[in-house]
């Protein structure tokens, strides 16, 4: 899960910024470009497993056969370390995964070749995803897939509690009520990660968020966000919501798969985990409940980054175009469970994977991540604070987030 949606951690950011922050962002100022003859490209990925690795290799081989070029796909053992070292050392892979939550760190360091505006049918990528991978008004890199959050429900536990489809929670009060009814013995009604990645939707549902729409202002300490965290805190104190460590689980999906949780809040990466690790657990996914101000979910993605220092820009763009056709995105979806980033492919995806309808529908109103350079550490501190939410003051958590966020915004100039 983490490999798919967060390619690089904050520890790498310093190394990336060493590569230089140019006023001519996205231009190639160092590599002599090779535009003819057979070319050898390297693609570095943070793979979720053999299925993903083999699917990317198959797509790369098909493009290589068609073009006469050669592609080597490298599934990194530690993407954040290997990629950070390669970029800082001046010998990066030509194409690589970049998570939306850390994309801006690479962009600010001028490590990325900005090719997004050259792509055919670029508008076919969802606007939220294009925004997540834009920097200084340039669409930098193509989103390779997309994920949103939904509410996963254990079917048997739901029925055993006397609940029906009519009881699927539509509001916060509904969620609290069914979570209470499902909490029994060692089973918690709801288990979700103590992270803004899973708890952030409550902010959106309350009408808040961490920044304003164009990320020029930090809005973390708003009354709406306080209302959201106060609601989550009440669920914790009522013992109907638990965080994974409280049930000896590594993440919400594990708690759900081991049936320590009757419900969890996760993205469509849950599908692959349940199929591979917990095939005997019957479940369904429904939309997250609406809050006081309406619907809310989050969007996650990874883009196909192209190194600014690569000598194969044209060939790399051609390869990315092959990776991101609607047909190829569906092949990736079938192989390892990701959701297409192209709007034109979503209808086909939903037809083939009707169980993921809630995830598909969420893409229409999902909130993208904060993509300010240097913000990763701020979000890491927020997650640390959220882990103590049961006994902490929501206003204090959000006040600290406001202060830390404003410092980053100021440092970015």
Q: Answer whether residue 279 is part of any domain.
A: yes
In a domain, 367, yes or no: no
Q: What is the pLDDT of residue 17?
A: 35
Task: Determine the pLDDT at residue 120.
Answer: 86
Q: Verify that 154 and 180 share a domain, yes or no.
A: yes
Question: Residue 221: inside a domain, yes or no?
Answer: yes
**Residue 370 domain-assigned?**
no
Q: Both 108 and 21 in a single domain?
A: yes
**Residue-range definition of the domain harbouring residue 28:** 2-146+301-362
Spatial neighbors of 135 by CB under 8 A, at least 6 apart, are: 25, 26, 103, 104, 107, 108, 112, 114, 371
Asked if residue 157 and residue 280 are part of one domain, the reply reads yes
Determine the pLDDT at residue 162. Answer: 97
Domain shared by 225 and 192, yes or no: yes
> Is 66 within the bounds of a domain?
yes
Predicted structure pTM score: 0.86
Q: Which residues of the chain have pLDDT under 70?
A: 1-31, 34-36
CA dist 333 and 348 (Å) reads 11
User: Pairing mode, if any, of strands 263-267 and 147-154?
Assistant: antiparallel
Residues 285 and 318 in one domain: no
pLDDT at 101: 76
Are residues 216 and 277 located together in one domain of the fold? yes
CB 92 within 8 Å of CB 83: yes
What is the structure's pLDDT at 15? 33
15, 86 Cβ separation under 8 angstroms: no
Question: Could you tell me the CATH number of the domain that includes residue 217?
Answer: 3.40.190.10
Number of structural domains, the chain?
2
Query: In angstroms, rounded to a whole number, what is the distance separating the alpha carbons of residues 202 and 52?
Result: 31
Identify whether 350 is part of a domain: yes
Nearest to 293 by CA among 179, 209, 413: 209
CA-wise closest residue to 225 among 367, 329, 325:
367
If asked whether residues 191 and 284 sit together in one domain, one would say yes
Does 318 share its domain with 269?
Answer: no
165 and 311 in a single domain? The answer is no
Is residue 34 domain-shared with residue 120, that is, in the same domain? Answer: yes
Residues 12 and 120 in one domain: yes
Residue 274 lies in a domain: yes
Amino acid 412: pLDDT: 87
β-strands 283-286, 142-143 pairing: unpaired
Question: Is 203 domain-assigned?
Answer: yes
Residue 10: its pLDDT value, please? Answer: 31
pLDDT of residue 11: 32
85 and 164, same domain (yes or no):
no
């Amino acid at each position: 899960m983490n490999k798919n949606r967060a390619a690089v951690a904050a520890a790498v950011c310093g190394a990336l910024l060493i590569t230089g922050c140019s006023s001519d962002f996205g231009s190639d100022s160092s590599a002599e470009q090779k535009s003819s003859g057979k070319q050898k490209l390297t693609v570095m990925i943070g793979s979720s497993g053999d299925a993903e690795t083999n699917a990317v290799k198959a797509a790369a081989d098909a493009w290589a056969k068609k073009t006469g070029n050669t592609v080597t796909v490298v599934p990194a053992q530690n993407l954040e370390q290997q990629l950070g070292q390669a970029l800082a050392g001046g010998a990066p892979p030509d194409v690589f995964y970049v998570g939306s939550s850390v994309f801006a760190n690479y962009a600010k360091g001028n490590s990325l070749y900005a090719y997004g505006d050259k792509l055919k049918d670029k508008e076919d990528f969802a606007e939220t995803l294009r925004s997540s991978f834009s920097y200084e008004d340039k669409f930098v890199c193509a989103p390779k897939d997309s994920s949103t959050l939904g509410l996963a429900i254990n079917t048997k536990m739901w029925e055993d509690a006397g609940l029906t489809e009519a009881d699927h929670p539509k509001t916060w009060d509904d969620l609290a009520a069914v979570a209470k009814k499902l909490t029994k013995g060692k089973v918690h009604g709801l288990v979700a990660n103590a992270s803004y990645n899973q708890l952030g939707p409550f902010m959106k549902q309350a009408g808040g968020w961490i920044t304003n729409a164009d990320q020029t202002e930090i809005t973390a300490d708003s009354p709406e966000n306080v209302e959201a965290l106060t609601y989550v805190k009440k669920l914790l104190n009522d013992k109907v919501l638990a965080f994974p460590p409280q049930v000896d689980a590594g993440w919400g999906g594990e708690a759900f798969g081991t049936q320590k949780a009757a419900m969890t809040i996760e993205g469509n990466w849950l599908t692959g985990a349940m199929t591979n690790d917990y095939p005997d657990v019957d479940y369904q996914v429904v939309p997250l409940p609406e809050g006081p101000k309406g619907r809310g979910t989050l969007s996650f993605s990874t883009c196909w980054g192209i190194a600014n220092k690569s000598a194969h820009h044209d060939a790399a763009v051609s390869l990315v175009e092959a990776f991101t056709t609607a047909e190829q995105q569906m092949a990736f979806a079938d192989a390892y469970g990701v959701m297409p980033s192209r709007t034109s492919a979503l209808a086909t995806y939903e037809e083939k994977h009707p169980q993921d309808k809630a995830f598909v529908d969420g893409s229409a109103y999902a909130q993208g991540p904060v993509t300010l350079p240097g913000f990763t550490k701020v979000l890491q501190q927020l997650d640390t604070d959220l882990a103590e939410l049961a006994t902490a003051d929501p206003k204090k958590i959000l006040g600290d987030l406001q202060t830390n966020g404003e410092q980053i915004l100021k440092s970015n100039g």
